Amino acid sequence: MINLVLFGPPGAGKGTQADVLKEKYQLVHISTGDVFRYNIKNQTELGVSAKGFIDKGQLVPDEVTIKMLKAKVEETPEAKGFIFDGFPRTENQADALAELLESKGTTVNAMVALEVDDEVLVKRLLERGKTSGRKDDANEAVIRNRIKVYYDETAILKQYYKKQDKYYGIDGVGSVEEITERISQVIDKL
């Protein structure tokens, strides 16, 4: 099994790369943001409880997020591996993921982190907001809050995986193909 944590601030290109990589390596892609948005659209209990946080650009509480992630992983017991996109975002979530994978006799093999300058992120997200229909992409203050939350609450996970020798920083500026190639060089050596 290959389990990847695709990491980076909002707008770094995680979703775009996950779409390519899941085909190339036959992995199951789990985007916690996508799962939340699906639940919001369908007005499930989970969606209702997550919406307020997401619209403000804040993190959904760990308890809710971890429960959802576990259920999502259990949906595909035959998976050859996973790309976790947007998860973990806190140390609690990283611990929960380690525990879950350990119970399946596997582990996180690598954190692949896409590195992109903040101003490029804001520009990309505002551009995406014109077509994504995402409320959290439409407002610059919310975008800047999401980036701030990333640095305040999520970026520490870099150290978490560095300590385990699993951290790989990737230049996230370039064409989609160029970035896929950079990530593939990491995966192919795992």
Respond yes or no on whether the N-terminal peptide bond of residue 61 is cis (omega within 30° of 0).
no
Binding test (CB under 6 A) with ligand AMP, winner from 5, 8, 30, 36: 36
Q: Please tell me which residue in 124, 134, 135, 162 is annotated as part of the active site.
A: 134
User: Which region, judged by CB under 6 A, interacts with ligand AMP, from 30-38, 74-82, 103-111, 124-132?
Assistant: 30-38
Of 51-59, 71-79, 99-107, 112-120, the window that binds ligand AMP (rule: CB under 6 A) is 51-59
Maximum distance among all Cα pairs of the chain, rounded to whole angstroms: 43
CA distances from residue 153 to 14, 56, 92, 127, 188 in whole angstroms, order as listed: 18, 15, 11, 25, 30
Of residues 57, 83, 94, 96, which one binds ligand AMP by CB under 6 A? 57
Amino acid at residue number 28: V
Both tokens of 172, joined, read 């996230």
Phi then psi dihedrals of residue 19, to 5 deg: -60, -40
Active-site residues: which are they? 14, 89, 128, 134, 146
Binding site for ligand AMP (CB under 6 A): 10, 32-33, 36, 53-54, 57-60, 65, 86-87, 89, 93, 136, 146
